[in-house]
Amino acid sequence: MNTIENNVFTEAWQSLAQQIPLPKAILAISAHWYVRATAVTAMDHPRTIHDFSGFPDELFAFQYNAPGSPQLASRVQELLAPTHVIADEDEWGLDHGTWSVLAHLYPDANIPVVQLSIDATLPISEHISLGRKLAPLANEGVLVLGSGNVVHNLSRIKWDAGDTGTDWANRFDIDVAKIMASEPLQLAGISTHADWPLSAPTPEHFLPLAYIAGMASETQADITRFNYSRTMGSLSMTSYVAQPVTL
């Protein structure tokens, strides 16, 4: 719903686009392409995927017609070697984890976008390692966008909670923020946190942050936190910007 709503979170994304350099291309890592492989979209014109149900017609009608970039897809394959990265030329596209955010960052959809899948067979440490390998993109004009939620438990949503979190959601989000501010590589051990089972009952929404942590560590990035809040009790909208210092 953030795609078609104007709220404090979407306003922050809009503001962010004015504060960072205009990218030549975007590599998006979305919680919603969670498969048993590492793959990258390699088509010229990725389709807009509506991977949900029960939402207003306006959301299903939304299209984000950004071009793809086979060149960036090939570069990602090169950087992640020897990990085998499947070049997906016709199956996937841009899912709502990607376009719900880009609709506010770059509403004109005129910047090439490539999606990278999240391999469900890998531990958090391996996702961080893949993020470290993507670090050269920071000097190549590519924005790497990780889209998920630090806390994501739909079974514990409290519809009347507003922009607040439960005690366990607050603790987990705060402790993740401490790690990102001090030593992002320590995120590899976050699954031992006492509040991990409730905060990430399935890991796919958390894992995009592992790629950002890996890149941030490798580039010695300055990490800025924004949208630092929980909503509906069991979701976190906390976001991070990692701007490289050196490679």
46 closest CA partner among 137, 2, 111, 106: 111
Q: For residues 101 and 98, what is the distance between their CA atoms, to the nearest angstrom? A: 6
- Are the CB atoms for 46 and 63 separated by under 8 Å? no
CATH match for 8-241 among 3.40.50.300, 3.30.465.10, 3.40.1350.10, 3.40.830.10 = 3.40.830.10
Mean pLDDT, 10 residues at a time, the chain of 247 residues: 90 95 97 98 98 89 97 98 97 97 98 98 98 97 98 96 96 98 97 98 98 96 94 96 74
- Find all residues with CB under 8 Å of 37, minimum gap 6, and list them: 84, 86, 117, 119
Q: For residues 243 and 57, what is the distance between their CA atoms, to the nearest angstrom? A: 37
Tell me the one-letter amino acid at 160: D
Q: What is the DSSP string of 141-199?
A: TEEEEEES-SSB-GGG--TT--S-B-HHHHHHHHHHHHHHHH-GGGGGGGGGSTTHHHH
- Are the CB atoms for 173 and 165 separated by under 8 Å? yes
What is the phi-psi region of residue 183: left when phi exceeds 0, alpha when psi lies from -120 to 50, beta otherwise? Answer: beta
200 closest CA partner among 153, 164, 235: 153
Q: Is-above-0.85 flag for pTM?
A: yes
Query: For residue 155, what pLDDT is reported?
Result: 96
Query: For residue 245, what pLDDT is reported?
Result: 66
Query: For residue 247, what pLDDT is reported?
Result: 42
| Encoded tokens for 177 | 């923020």
Q: Which residues on neighbouring strands pair with residue 230, listed in sequence order?
A: 236
Tell me the C-alpha to C-alpha distance, in Å, between residue 101 and each of 50, 64, 148, 243. Answer: 14, 11, 10, 19
Q: For residues 87 and 45, what is the distance between their CA atoms, to the nearest angstrom? A: 14
